[in-house]
Amino acid sequence: MTSTIVMSPAVVENPTAPALPVRRRMDVTGVNPLRARPRVQELLYRELLTPADLIAPILVQPDHRDPARYRYLPGAVSISEVAGHAQQLRSVGVRACKILVYIEHRTPHAEDALNPDNLMIAAIHAVRNAVPDMVIATEVCGCAWTDSGECVLLGSRGRTAIDATYELMARMAVLHAQAGVDIVGPAAVLDGSVQATRFELDEAGFTDVGVAPSVIFDSALFDIYKSAMNTDPGRGNRRGFQIDPSQLGQALDQAERWIDEGADSVLVQPAMTSIDLLTRLRGVIRAPLIAFSTSGEDQLFATAPIAVQLEYARALKRAGADLIMTYGALRLARALEDGQ
């Protein structure tokens, strides 16, 4: 393509001045002034990721469970290791964690979820005592506690017992709040669960405890977590509550519905297959968006250089996430501290 010479307006107005050729921007030398000089690059540089952007899942295990069954998942620790693990996270600048638990005694009605002496409550106390300023989030969901592995309680003929499920989640939320959590996360993608949880927290005087529900695409990227934590329902998926990955519209609607129900922030998972969702949500939701990089994603990154996972986390921020929940929180935070 031949380049076109354009006369500048000044030349046109003054016919006696020498005619200066002006190149079009696209025809210029190939040197980009925004990237050519290190000092200009440094002026423009913004660090997208800091340890304070990370939320670390802590997968709490009973002390007597064989570590070989969960050690391959970063963040999986026995209850007696929880305090030390939380201190380690905080020492590298991670300020938030999400506690999930492996429960051995599971029943159809998830009674242990409401037992004030359960493993979840013990873990909340352990983190709170070890790191008083740690932001603690929990999940309020049936799947760790039901013998079916379902997030919801089942009624007659295997149907979802909706009111009983609301009650379970709401009462779990209050129990966790009493133990000192800052944020609870209804995770069953069950419409009405945010409203029910919010109402019960307010009634109990915990108006300052946040509710952070999830928008979840059905995905094989949860499988490692499900098998390590033994929360896989017999049928393989979550009763149709999780959203088919082809249905972006449903995911957008779900997030807006959560905000209408009173959510303070929204978790999007799995992060890796939700980049478009994050970006679209960023345009319509002003509440904090949390991208949850799931267990399967962490496994994919396990053999890659840490720089690759850092790039990925930065890309999630750029796509619209305010915070990133990741099993790699500890190693990412260490790498950031090392200046990577």
Phi/psi for 123 (5° steps) reads -70, -40
Q: Minimum distance between the CB of residue 130 and Zn ion, rounded to whole angstroms? A: 26
**Which of 141, 169, 189, 310: binder of Zn ion (CB under 5 A)?**
141
Going by the DSSP 8-state scheme, the letter that residue 60 receives in this structure is E
Q: How far is CA 226 from CA 192, 236, 307, in A?
A: 25, 10, 27
Radius of gyration of the CA atoms of the chain, in A: 25
CB 293 within 8 A of CB 272: yes
**By the rule CB under 5 A, 216 interacts with Zn ion:** no
Restricted to residues 236-255, the positions that interact with Zn ion (CB under 5 A) are none
Q: Are the beta carbons of 270 and 188 closer than 8 angstroms?
A: no
Q: Examine residue 189 and tell whether it contacts Zn ion (CB under 5 A).
A: no
Q: What is the spatial distance between Cα 175 and Cα 160, in angstroms, rounded to a whole number?
A: 23
Q: Is 103 in the site for Zn ion (CB under 5 A)?
A: no
Contact status: 59 vs Zn ion (CB under 5 A): no
* Site stretch for Zn ion (CB under 5 A), options 16-24, 105-113, 118-126, 185-193: 185-193
Task: Select the span of 4-12, 107-115, 138-146, 287-295 touching Zn ion (CB under 5 A).
Answer: 138-146
Peptide bond into 270 cis (omega under 30): yes
36 phi/psi in degrees, rounded to 5: -80, -35
The answer to whether residue 151 forms part of the interface with Zn ion (CB under 5 A) is yes
- Residue placing its CB nearer to Zn ion in the complex, 188 or 321: 188
Convert 88-101 to b/e letters by CB count within 10 Å (16 or more is b).
bbbebbbbbbbbbb
Smallest gap from residue 236 Cβ to Zn ion (A) = 14
Three-state SS for 329? helix
Closest separation in Å from C-beta 221 to Zn ion: 15
> Is there binding between residue 55 and Zn ion (CB under 5 A)?
no
Q: Which is nearer to Zn ion, 76 or 336 (CB)?
A: 76
- Interacting stretch for Zn ion, rule CB under 5 A, among 82-90, 150-158, 202-210, 295-303? 150-158
- The verdict on 143 binding Zn ion (CB under 5 A) reads yes
Query: What is the binding site for Zn ion (CB under 5 A)?
Result: 141, 143, 151, 187
